């Protein structure tokens, strides 16, 4: 007599339902200690959106489900820094918000009053770069779906606009999507990290439509020579060290009316904050940076120190990318204001 055969269930299928139930129970238990965030729009923040992330290695962010307000909030794991693993600093209290430049940021605020939002400052990483989560990553990876859905629900008109989903377009010039730690410049004055011990580095300028314009930033403090094909190639850097820098319109009268930019040092970083790969690049006969915070980057020209000035233009790799800076709004920092469309949306709510 033949015994009936049974098709064994896949072990992962057997364990999936209990795991999902356990996750829901875990999320419900967090409701006693974790507020539920109901908006990332800076003009709609409520005291209930105020969070305390202090000294947390991993914070379970509870995000309201915009499609079903009565359902269990969705959970997203937030980290301050994963490589190396670093907990959120002490006194990390404030609001997550979605800024006009397509970034999820965290605004430090003294109290849960949304009025303190404007008086606060953005959370920074140990190297001085603002902590942020780029819209491209929010749109690419499923784990950020609760954040993406709430951003879209808070600003319905952004579902097809460049502020949110438009940021997920392919990176300009065919380069790979920007990594999590990429240097993304969203306007004049936006801090980015420069390792002067290497000749060039990948960077991105966020265009007004939300897409990223990729380019190779050529170290102005390196020796460059023109090859037989007419291309400029790096020979060697002159200095070692890293600094937090920002592009600015040239302040020199002779550059008035021309798209000329300069590079200002905001802060010199200690070498201990560099990655092992960056520290290895400091080897060799290089001199320490001869600049301090607030100085314009300068290089010797005809035996005299002269500020580095770069004329941007619609063509070229670096010149074309940096020319985008002139198209971005400069009157108001994009970090502080999301969009004027928020006022219109608020009137309809």
pLDDT of 169 over the 70 cut:
no
- 36-37 vs 59-63, strand pairing mode: parallel
Average pLDDT over residues 38-63: 94
Residue 333: the pLDDT is 35
Does an H or E element contain 61, and which?
strand 59-63
Contact yes or no for 149/177 (Cβ under 8 A): no
Least confident of 134-148, 238-252, 281-295: 281-295
pLDDT number for residue 166: 34
Least confident residue range of 61-65, 81-85, 115-119: 81-85
Contact between 214 and 222 (Cβ < 8 Å): no
Give the model's pLDDT for residue 327: 84
pLDDT exceeds 70 at position 104:
yes
The whole-model pTM stands at: 0.66
Please, are residues 300 and 306 in contact by the beta-carbon 8 Å criterion? Answer: yes
pLDDT (tens digit per residue) in 303-338 = 556 899 999 998 778 899 899 899 876 533 333 333
Mean predicted confidence (pLDDT) in 183-210: 83
Query: pLDDT for 173-191, tens place per residue?
Result: 334 456 666 788 888 988 8
233 vs 59 pLDDT, higher one:
59
Q: Which residue has the higher pLDDT, 245 or 12?
A: 245
247 vs 241 pLDDT, higher one: 247
- The partner residues of 256 in beta bridges, in order of sequence, read none
Q: Any residues with CB less than 8 A from the CB of 140 and at least 6 apart, and which?
A: 168, 177
- Listed by start position, the domains of the chain span 28-167, 187-327
Q: Which of 117-121, 149-153, 194-198 has the lowest mean pLDDT?
A: 194-198
Helices (H), the chain: 11-30, 135-140, 145-154, 276-280, 317-322, 341-348
Task: Average the pLDDT over 139-155 and give the result.
Answer: 86
pLDDT at 194 over 80: yes
Q: Is the pLDDT of residue 50 over 90?
A: yes
Contact 86, 131 (CB under 8 A): no
pLDDT at position 271, please? Answer: 62
pLDDT band, very low/low/confident/very high, at 192 (cuts 50, 70, 90): confident
Choose the most confident range, by mean pLDDT, from 159-163, 255-259, 338-342, 344-348.
Answer: 255-259
Give percent of the chain above pLDDT 70: 68
Q: What pLDDT does 172 receive?
A: 40
Q: Given this model, what pLDDT does residue 285 score?
A: 62
């Amino acid at each position: 007599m033949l015994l009936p055969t049974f098709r064994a269930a896949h072990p992962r299928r057997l364990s999936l339902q209990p795991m999902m139930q356990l996750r829901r129970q875990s999320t419900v238990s967090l409701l006693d200690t974790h507020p539920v965030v109901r908006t990332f729009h800076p003009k709609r923040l409520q005291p209930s959106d105020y969070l305390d992330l202090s000294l947390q290695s991993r914070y379970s962010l509870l995000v309201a489900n915009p499609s079903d307000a009565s359902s269990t909030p969705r959970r997203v794991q937030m980290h301050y820094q994963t490589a190396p693993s670093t907990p959120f600093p002490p006194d990390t209290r404030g609001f997550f918000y979605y800024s006009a430049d397509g970034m999820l940021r965290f605004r430090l605020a003294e109290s849960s009053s949304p009025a303190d939002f404007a008086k606060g400052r953005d959370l920074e990483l140990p190297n001085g770069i603002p902590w942020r989560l780029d819209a491209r990553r929010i749109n690419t990876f499923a784990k950020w779906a609760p954040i993406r859905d709430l951003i879209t629900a808070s600003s319905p008109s952004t579902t097809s606009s460049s502020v949110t989903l438009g940021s997920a377009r392919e990176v300009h010039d065919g380069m790979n999507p920007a990594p999590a730690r990429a240097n993304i410049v969203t306007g004049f004055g936006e801090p980015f990290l420069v390792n002067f011990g290497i000749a060039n580095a990948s960077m991105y300028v966020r265009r007004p439509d939300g897409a990223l314009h990729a380019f190779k930033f050529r170290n102005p403090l390196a020796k460059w020579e023109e090859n037989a094909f007419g291309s400029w190639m790096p020979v060697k850097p002159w200095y070692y060290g890293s600094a937090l820098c920002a592009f600015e319109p040239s302040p020199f009268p002779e550059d008035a009316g021309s798209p000329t930019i300069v590079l200002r040092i905001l802060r010199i970083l200690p070498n201990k904050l560099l990655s092992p790969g960056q520290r290895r690049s400091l080897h060799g006969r290089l001199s320490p940076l001869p600049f301090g915070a607030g100085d314009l980057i300068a290089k010797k020209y005809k035996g005299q120190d002269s500020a580095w000035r770069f004329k941007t233009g619609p063509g070229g790799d670096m010149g074309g990318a940096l020319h985008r800076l002139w198209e971005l709004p400069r009157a108001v920092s994009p970090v502080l204001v999301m969009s004027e469309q928020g006022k219109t949306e608020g009137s309809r709510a």
